[in-house]
Amino acid sequence: MVSRLSAIDILMGVSVALIWGMGFVFSKAAIAHFPPILLMAFRFSVTALALVWFVRPPLAHIGRLALIAFIASAVQYSLTFTGLKGLDASVAVLVVQLEVPFLVLIGAVALRERPGLRKWLGIALAFAGVALIAGEPSVASAWVSVLLVVSGAFVWAVGQAMIRALEDIDGLTVTAWIAVCAAPQLFVMSLIFETGHVAAIRSADWVVWGTVVYLGLVMTALGYGMWNVLVRRHPVSQVAPFLLLLPVFSILASGIFLGEVLTAQSLAGGAVVIAGLAVILVERWPLPRTAVAAVPAVAPAPIPAAVPAAVIPPTNAGPDGIPPPAPPRKDAGSAP
């Protein structure tokens, strides 16, 4: 029998989408005056300082976690947020939704998973929507930024596949120690690719430091915590559709707080992208209670140890439009 979402569960699902969706908006406001990679370095420093005290050092996995942190956090966030600097937040948050179809594709190629026809249709729709957005003149002129965000979405999906391969380690430990490893990596990458660090830190206002705290604590600790509660209570296919609200919240907030306005072409492309995500994420609509009672009972599959790549994991904190990393296989939880 399909589990029913309570009012609290629905509130939590909507809150997760809102919390993660606002990340792009706050980040866009901050990187207007602050180097984006340096911002991410501070963000992961906050996450590490907040969580590392509650988990034991995973000595047997530390080498692999350092590699995952480099790919799924240092490289991915550097690409995504450097691209965000050249795009409106409302456009970037739609382009970054390619994380989901990329994850399905990587699951099919690397993990030998078999997406059904519906998921292939969803993938095609998502890419067609992004192509429509990228063809809008103001976006097309920033093609380098679009390419950076698309590349970040692909790298995020690669990182999630690596996380799913981990065993005998819980999701909180993965999140905490990826942050511990990613923070110094991001500081080094910022020193290599960015300039003006001292001046940026000295002139940083409350918007920058507020964004650091929001991304490091609210998106990761609160958002990820609520998401794990949901996926422990209900099948992932039942709660994943809440993530369709994420770009909607980002677009609305971008208009309210940043004064951004999507063109008709970008809106149409965004609608196609969200439709594609819906085809991928919505496995089936729960049957009414009476209908379920009339159907021969079939024991539902247990909640998977990690979110199937063919559905979606949450992302790290997302970002910022991007949800947190998926817990590894041994964790009953969920992902950037």
Task: Please report which confidence band the pLDDT of residue 333 belongs to, taking 50, 70 and 90 as the band edges.
Answer: very low
Q: How many CB atoms lie within 10 A of CB 258?
A: 17
Residue 311 has pLDDT above 60, yes or no: no
DSSP designation for 218? I
Q: Is residue 262 part of a domain?
A: yes
State the maximum Cα–Cα separation within the chain, in Å, rounded to a whole number. 68
Which string of DSSP letters, residue by residue, matches 233-296?
A: HS-HHHHGGGGGHHHHHHHHHHHHHS-----HHHHHHHHHHHHHHHHHH---PPPPHHHHHHSP
195 is in which domain, residue-wise?
19-284
pLDDT of residue 123: 92
Residue 158 has pLDDT above 80, yes or no: yes
| Helix-helix angle 117-134:99-110, to 10 degrees | 140
Q: How many Cα atoms occupy the beta-carbon half-sphere of 15 within 13 Å?
A: 16
Joined tokens for residue 86 = 């050249």
Domain count, the chain: 1
Residue 45 has pLDDT above 90, yes or no: yes
Residue 46 has pLDDT above 50, yes or no: yes
Q: Is residue 211 part of a domain?
A: yes
Q: Is residue 293 part of a domain?
A: no
Q: Counting runs of H as helices and runs of E as strands, what totals does the chain give? A: 17, 0
Residue 269 has pLDDT above 90, yes or no: yes
**Distance separating alpha carbons of residues 280 and 123, to the nearest angstrom:** 7
Average pLDDT over every residue of 226-248: 82
Q: Is residue 58 part of a domain?
A: yes
Q: Is residue 323 part of a domain?
A: no
Q: Which of 36-45, 88-97, 131-140, 164-173 has the lowest mean pLDDT?
A: 164-173
Q: Is residue 160 part of a domain?
A: yes
Q: What is the CA radius of gyration of the chain?
A: 19
pLDDT of residue 68: 93
The pTM score is 0.80
State the chain's mean pLDDT as an integer. Answer: 82
| Helix-helix angle 99-110:264-281, to 10 degrees | 40
Average pLDDT over every residue of 315-334: 43
Q: Is residue 139 part of a domain?
A: yes
Residue 287 has pLDDT above 80, yes or no: no
**Distance separating alpha carbons of residues 209 and 201, to the nearest angstrom:** 10
- The more confidently predicted of residues 304 and 72 is 72
Residue 234 · residue 330 · CB < 8 Å = no
Q: How confident is the model over 106-147, as pLDDT tens digits?
A: 888 877 778 888 889 999 999 999 999 999 888 988 999 999
Q: Is residue 197 part of a domain?
A: yes
pLDDT of residue 296: 43
